[in-house]
Amino acid sequence: MSAEILPVSVVIPVLNEAATLPALLSALANQTAKPQELFFIDTGSTDGSLDMVNAWWRREQWRDGSLLALSSPGAYPGGARNAGIERATQPWIAFLDAGVTPDRDWLQILIDSAQTAKPAGVFGLTRFTGRDALTTALCALSYGQGAARATLPGSMFRRDVFARIGGFDGTLRAGEDVVWLRKFDQAYPDGRMQCTAGAVYSHFPESLPAAASKWFDYEQHAARAGLHRGMMLAASAGGLLTIAAFAAQPAAGLAICLLYLVARGVVDPIRRSASWSWWADHPVALVLAPLCALVIDSAKLAGQIAGRLKAKHV
């Protein structure tokens, strides 16, 4: 028996995702209910991502479904999503990222929830997990190992919502989803509906330099979007306090550094994660976490500073 075809357009930005696409494509092919439209917007891949998508569709395409693979070199995720939104014809638009793998019943739960309450947006839950010691530490320090939260990828919105509040900021490489969701909540204060539609994200950087680059780049664009100002102020104040403490008494400065490493590298991952023993599957992650915290936070602060300096010269 063929799967039901739902009145949903799924929009997915892609950039050099040959490593993550197989899991996503397999999950889409195995959905208990299929979207009528799929849009993959490639923003300049050099690893054959778009060819992989097209080859998959030739093998797996379902009756009454359609796929449009677009090339938009140089676009950021917001601009890529906008390109899909502009071409979508279905009453509902759902979003995924190439690194986000939906559960088999993800789309069915989203549409069933939409039909019961008629919301402006139906939010799924993305579960975050690392794959080894390093990625588990990075996951625990950012989203929380095993934690689940509502995110734009994995969620679905009425198409008329975009006609009312517009699309995503195409000039931001990161944070554009946060900015857009704030606009959504302002326009539709009672428009959110949370459901159990699930997806998994596990594609964290595989080295500390890659992690530093990721968070530095993210915070540059977050700064341009006016996000995380409180974090920058707190980090700057903490840095000045530490320097002053070292100048006055080295032991006091060292104590502040140790306190930071314990709070951020030990306590914070427990607070964020689904279990206090978030490191159980990869015990070395517990040892790596303080170092990862220092790398992430240093990169974030540097990114905030760089982003604000750039914004002043624009």
pLDDT at 174: 85
What average pLDDT does the structure give for the chain? 90
pLDDT at 304: 87
Give the DSSP per-residue string, the chain: -PPEEEEEEEEEEESS-TTTHHHHHHHHHT-SEEEEEEEEEESS-SSSHHHHHHHHHHHH--TT-EEEEEE-TT--HHHHHHHHHHH--SSEEEE--TTEEE-TTHHHHHHHHHHHH--SEEEEEEEE--SSHHHHHHHHHHT-TT-EEE-STT-EEEHHHHHHH----TT-SSSHHHHHHHHHHHH-TT-EEEEEEEEEE----SSHHHHHHHHHHHHHHHHHTT--HHHHHHHHHHHHHHHHHHHH-HHHHHHHHHHHHHIIIIIHHHHHSSSTTTTTT-THHHHHHHHHHHHHHHHHHHHHHHHHHHHHT-
- Confidence bin at 206 (pLDDT 50/70/90): very high
68: CATH: 3.90.550.10
Q: Which residue has the higher pLDDT, 305 or 39?
A: 39
Q: Do residues 142 and 234 share a domain? A: no
Tell me: pLDDT of 270 over 90.
yes
Across the strands, what pairs with 94?
10, 156
Question: Structural domain of residue 298, as residue ranges?
Answer: 208-312
Task: Choose the final residue of a domain: 201, 233, 260.
Answer: 201
Q: Do residues 55 and 193 share a domain? A: yes
Amino acid at position 153, single letter: P
Burial class (CB in 10 A: 0-12, 13-18, 19+), 230: exposed
Amino acid at position 308, single letter: R
Q: Do residues 181 and 277 share a domain? A: no
pLDDT digits (tens, 9 = 90+) for 221-238: 888 877 766 666 665 556
Tell me: pLDDT of 45 over 60.
yes
pLDDT at 48: 92
pLDDT at 205: 95
- Confidence bin at 313 (pLDDT 50/70/90): low
pLDDT digits (tens, 9 = 90+) for 274-306: 999 999 999 999 999 999 999 999 999 889 888
pLDDT digits (tens, 9 = 90+) for 75-98: 999 999 999 999 999 999 999 999
Q: Do residues 277 and 131 share a domain? A: no
Residue 312, Ramachandran bin (φ over 0: left; ψ between -120 and 50: alpha; else beta): alpha
Q: Do residues 143 and 182 share a domain? A: yes
Q: Do residues 194 and 219 share a domain? A: no
pLDDT at 163: 94
Q: Do residues 87 and 223 share a domain? A: no
Q: Do residues 174 and 156 share a domain? A: yes
Q: Do residues 29 and 133 share a domain? A: yes
Task: Choose the final residue of a domain: 201, 231, 263.
Answer: 201
Q: Do residues 213 and 119 share a domain? A: no
Q: What does pTM read for this prediction?
A: 0.90
Q: Which residue has the higher pLDDT, 246 or 264?
A: 264
Task: Choose the final residue of a domain: 201, 233, 261.
Answer: 201
Tell me: pLDDT of 258 over 90.
no
Q: What is the arithmetic mean of pLDDT over 177-196?
A: 94
Q: Do residues 196 and 220 share a domain? A: no
pLDDT digits (tens, 9 = 90+) for 136-164: 999 999 999 999 999 999 999 999 999 99
Q: Do residues 236 and 122 share a domain? A: no
Whole-number percent of the chain with pLDDT over 90: 77
Q: What is the arithmetic mean of pLDDT over 206-234?
A: 83
- Number of domains the chain contains: 2
pLDDT at 226: 77
pLDDT at 272: 97
